[in-house]
Amino acid sequence: MVTIKKYDLQGNEVEEITVEDSLLDIPVNKQMLKNYILAIRNNKRQWSANTKDKSEVKATGKKPHNQKGLGRARQGSLVSPQFKGGGRAHGPKPKFDQHIKINKKERIKSIQSLLAERIREKKVFLLEDLVKECKTKTFFDFLNKMGLIDKRILFLGSKKNDIEILKKSIRNIEKNNFSYVFNLDGYKLALCMHIVMVGDAFKEVLEFLKRDRK
């Protein structure tokens, strides 16, 4: 059994929540995690680099100068790569679609294993509902009391209001990421070693950990 503590914004402990070991008994498949994270990073690329070669550049077909008599190297066209405005030799072109498909079950298992690992390591902090916008200093003092200053933190929320308040209140504090539980990005989860869950986010996380458990 793992016990997670819930706090108010002043850093006072409000409640203790116990998580069953059966929910956290998720084996970590390192190769699957690696494939999942590499796929996310790969799919964020645009794959749209494009350059024009000699046949695509808009320019005159006039020969730059006479073939003989000037003592200079012969030139056949102004669109050659050595001239300004000429075509690019061996430049990048859009290739076939290089996006990597992420299997739905692998995605769920990867996120579940990362969440379970953070909970087992007690790197999850629960925060009460945010009723109104809070000052940055209030959040800074809370993070300082939790020992999270200069740590990379992922803030998880279940309501749009919670995330909006967090973004406005913590935007001047470095190394913070935000996400909704229903749209959780495994790359952010792997990047952040500490998680702060606001309001009902932890309940949704526990429900997510129960998915596809066979």
Residue type present at position 194: H
Kindly report, residue by residue over 154-200, the tens digit of the pLDDT.
998 888 777 888 888 888 888 888 888 888 888 988 889 999 998 88
Contacts of 23 (CB under 8 A, 6+ apart): 116, 206, 209, 210
Contacts of 187 (CB under 8 A, 6+ apart): 37, 40, 41
Kindly report, residue by residue over 56-85, the tens digit of the pLDDT.
998 888 898 899 999 999 998 999 999 988
Give the pLDDT band of residue 213 (cuts 50, 70, 90). Answer: low
% residues pLDDT > 90 (the chain): 21
Kindly report, residue by residue over 135-162, the tens digit of the pLDDT.
888 888 888 988 888 889 999 888 877 7
Is the confidence at residue 52, as pLDDT, over 90? yes
CA angle 30, 33, 35 (to 5 degrees): 110
Residue 116 backbone dihedrals phi, psi, to 5 degrees: -60, -40
Give pTM, 2 decimals: 0.75
Pick the last residue of a domain from 35, 67, 94: 94
Residue 189 resides in a domain? yes
Domain of residue 76 covers 48-94
Residue type present at position 21: D
Domain co-membership, 55 together with 126: no
Nearest to 156 by CA among 182, 134, 136, 133: 182
CATH of residue 9: 3.40.1370.10
Domain co-membership, 79 together with 179: no
Residue 214 resides in a domain? no
When pLDDT is averaged across residues 27-36 and rounded to a whole number, the result is 89
User: How is residue 186 annotated by DSSP?
Assistant: H
Domain co-membership, 71 together with 164: no
CA distances from 196 to 22, 101, 205 (A): 22, 30, 12
